[in-house]
Amino acid sequence: MTLRPIALAIAAVACSSAFAQQSTVTVFGILDAGVQRLENGSQARWLQSIDGLRTSRLGFRGTEDLGGGLSASFHLEGALSPDDGNAAGMNWRRRSTVSLASSTLGELRLGRDYTPTFWNYSVFSPFGTNGVGSSGNLIYGFGGKSSTAPTIVRSDNSVGYFLPKGLGGVYGQAMVALGEGAPTGKFHGVRLGFASGPVDVAVAASDTVNNAAGDKFNNFNLGGSYDFGVVKLMGIYSVSMQTTAKQTTTLLGFTMPIGAGELRASWIHADKANSPDDATQLAVGYVYWLSKRTALYTSAAQIKNKAAATFVIPGGAPLSAGQSSTGVEMGVSHSF
Restricting to residues 96-125, which ones interact with its own copies according to CB under 8 A?
96-98, 100, 110-112
The minimum distance between CB 14 and its own copies, in angstroms, equals 5
Cβ 130 vs Cβ 53: under 8 Å: yes
The minimum distance between CB 108 and its own copies, in angstroms, equals 8
Angle at the Cα of 328 from the Cα atoms of 327 and 333, rounded to 5 degrees? 120
Q: Which is nearer to its own copies, 202 or 313 (CB)?
A: 313
Query: For its own copies, which residue of 294, 307, 320, 321 counts as binding (CB under 8 A)?
Result: 294
* Interacting residues with its own copies between 59 and 78 (CB under 8 A): 60, 62, 64, 66, 70, 72-74, 76, 78
Sign, CA torsion 154/160/165/166:
negative
Distance CA 115, CA 121 (A): 11
The minimum distance between CB 12 and its own copies, in angstroms, equals 3
The minimum distance between CB 330 and its own copies, in angstroms, equals 11
Q: Which is nearer to its own copies, 56 or 255 (CB)?
A: 56
Q: With CA atoms as reference, report the closest residue to 195 among 130, 124, 115, 99.
A: 124
In terms of C-beta distances under 8 Å and separation of at least 24 residues, what long-range contacts does 244-253 make, across chains too? 245/142, 245/143, 245/273, 246/272, 246/273, 246/274, 247/141, 247/142, 247/143, 247/144, 247/271, 247/272, 247/273, 248/273, 249/138, 249/139, 251/124, 251/125, 251/135, 251/139, 253/125, 253/126, 253/127
Q: Which is nearer to its own copies, 228 or 336 (CB)?
A: 336
Choose one: 145-153, 224-232, 285-293, 304-312; the region binding its own copies (CB under 8 A).
285-293
CA distances from 302 to 38, 149, 283, 298 (A): 10, 22, 7, 14
Backbone angles phi, psi at 240, to 5 degrees: -120, 135
Distance CA 97, CA 156 (A): 10
What secondary structure letter does DSSP report for 19? G
Q: Which is nearer to its own copies, 235 or 331 (CB)?
A: 331
Choose one: 89-97, 130-138, 196-204, 270-278; the region binding its own copies (CB under 8 A).
89-97
* Cβ neighbours around 283 below 10 Å, total: 26
* Interacting residues with its own copies between 124 and 183 (CB under 8 A): 156-159, 177-181
Choose one: 9-17, 125-133, 139-147, 276-284; the region binding its own copies (CB under 8 A).
9-17
Q: Does 205 bind its own copies (CB under 8 A)?
A: no
The minimum distance between CB 49 and its own copies, in angstroms, equals 9
Choose one: 45-53, 212-220, 225-233, 306-314; the region binding its own copies (CB under 8 A).
45-53
Q: Does 228 bind its own copies (CB under 8 A)?
A: no
Q: Does 35 bind its own copies (CB under 8 A)?
A: yes
The CA R_g of the chain, rounded to the nearest whole Å, is 21
Q: Which is nearer to its own copies, 28 or 237 (CB)?
A: 28
The minimum distance between CB 270 and its own copies, in angstroms, equals 26
